[in-house]
Amino acid sequence: MEHALNDLLKFVQIGARLDLKALAVEHVLGLTGTPEGLEAICNNPALLVSLISLLDDTSIPIAKDASLCLVNIAAQEKGANELIKVDLEQSCPPLQRPPEDIVRQCLTHIFNKDSKLADQCCMILSNLSRPSHLIEEIINVIEKSGKSFDELIEVFTRIEFNKNARFHYLGPVLSNLSQSQRVRRYILDKEKCVIQRLLPFTDYKDSLIRRGGIVGTLKNCCFESEFHDWLLSDDVDILPRLLLPLAGPEEFDDADTDKLPLDLQYLPEDKLREDDPDIRTILLEALTQLCSKKVNRELIRSKNTYLILRELHKWETDKKALLACENLVDILIRTEDEIMEDNLKELQVPNDLATKFDKFNSEL
């Protein structure tokens, strides 16, 4: 296969004859659908650089096929590593100009209002940022690219930014990158109002990818305990945004309803819960993070959160989501006298119990 790829290489590049280039790229795309093909392509730096170059090919069909090749390559951790680490100058075919690195290439298309590859480049960036050890490097490239996270959020939140693209996969990009404290601190900057612009997408019906990406981003931000008071305050009001996707059409008496956040009062009869169990689990885990301090637990209880969780627990069938729900309920139904700890994150769990809990969770 290595010899075959080397034979194809002269056609998989800018300037090759159009018909032969189209066939060669199509063949490479087929190879990315097999483990053996992906392995061979990842071991061919010159081919990787040529595919990155073809993102700028004047033929849109060829550029799209090249982008789909890169989506598939980046989906594997080894492929993501090779695409980020490849030496562009050394591996560039003779007489060809080295392309920009793949992250900058993706950003160029994402910020180009007329690009027909913006969505594919969002998918590439989403896959590249999945391995945790590549996240900081990708953030560095973004910060040095001349573009800011402010602009990236602007593209994501403006649905009509590019008539050729939907930008749903920027959701997972933000979720992946928000594993870094640098990105979390940017999203949680009280002067920028970033997180307020992301909150409406927790219930975005048109795309599970966008919805899941933002819920993951919010959960990551909830690991920053010092911001919990602000997140739960009227300035952000994150609680109803996390609870609303978990709520169903159940009716409650007026006394219970009045205690709920306004957005959860008198929901319509056709109100549906979030249908993806992974997203439900992430929402519950985010809420659990917000319960770390006593003052916030009391606020969350006062909003009748237990009522929503009780009905969710009756309805839920996914084991992982059930466990997440039970963990959260277990905190909220206890009195503070029973908990006897202001900050649960400071609670020391004995090693033998931690091991037992981990094993129990894994079995579930």
* Global confidence as pTM: 0.92
pLDDT at 348: 59
Considering the domain architecture, whether residues 16 and 35 belong to the same structural domain is answered as yes
The chain-wide mean pLDDT, for the chain, equals 93
SS (H, E, C) 248-316: CCCCCCHHHHHHCCHHHCCCCCCCCCCCCHHHHHHHHHHHHHHCCEHHHHHHHHHCCHHHHHHHHHHHC
Q: Which of 201, 221, 241 is the last residue of a domain?
A: 221
State whether 91 and 132 are in the same domain.
no
Asked whether residue 303 falls in the same domain as residue 363, the answer is yes
Percentage with pLDDT > 70 across the chain: 94
Last residue of a domain, one of 221, 240, 263: 221
* Model confidence pLDDT, tens digit, residues 42-79: 999 999 999 999 999 999 999 999 999 999 999 999 99
Contacts of residue 296, defined as CB under 8 A and 6 or more positions apart, other chains included, come to 228, 229, 232, 290
Residue 336 clears pLDDT 90, i.e. is over it: no
**Is 43 found in the same domain as 70?**
yes
At residue 349, does pLDDT exceed 70? no
Distance, CA of 123 to CA of 129 (rounded, Å)? 10
Question: Residue 344 pLDDT > 80, yes or no?
Answer: no
Yes or no: say if 336 and 292 are a contact pair by the CB < 8 Å rule.
no
Q: Is residue 132 domain-shared with residue 82, that is, in the same domain?
A: no
CATH label of the domain that carries residue 81: 1.25.10.10
Taking 80 as the threshold, does the pLDDT of residue 162 lie above it? yes
Question: Is residue 210 located within the same domain as residue 263?
Answer: no
Mean pLDDT, residues 331-343: 83
Q: By residue range, what is the domain housing residue 271?
A: 223-364
Domain-terminating residue out of 99, 117, 136: 99
Q: Are residues 76 and 202 in the same domain?
A: no
**Same-domain status, 315 and 265:** yes
Among 84-98, 143-157, 186-200, 278-292, the range scoring the smallest mean pLDDT is 84-98
Position 359 confidence tier, pLDDT thresholds 50, 70, 90: low
d(CA 248, CA 290): 22
- 209 and 281 fall within a common domain: no
Radius of gyration (Cα) for the chain, nearest Å? 24
Q: What is the pLDDT of residue 339?
A: 76
Per-residue confidence (pLDDT) for residue 292, from 0 to 100: 94
202 pLDDT above the threshold of 90: yes
* Same structural domain, 135 and 82: no
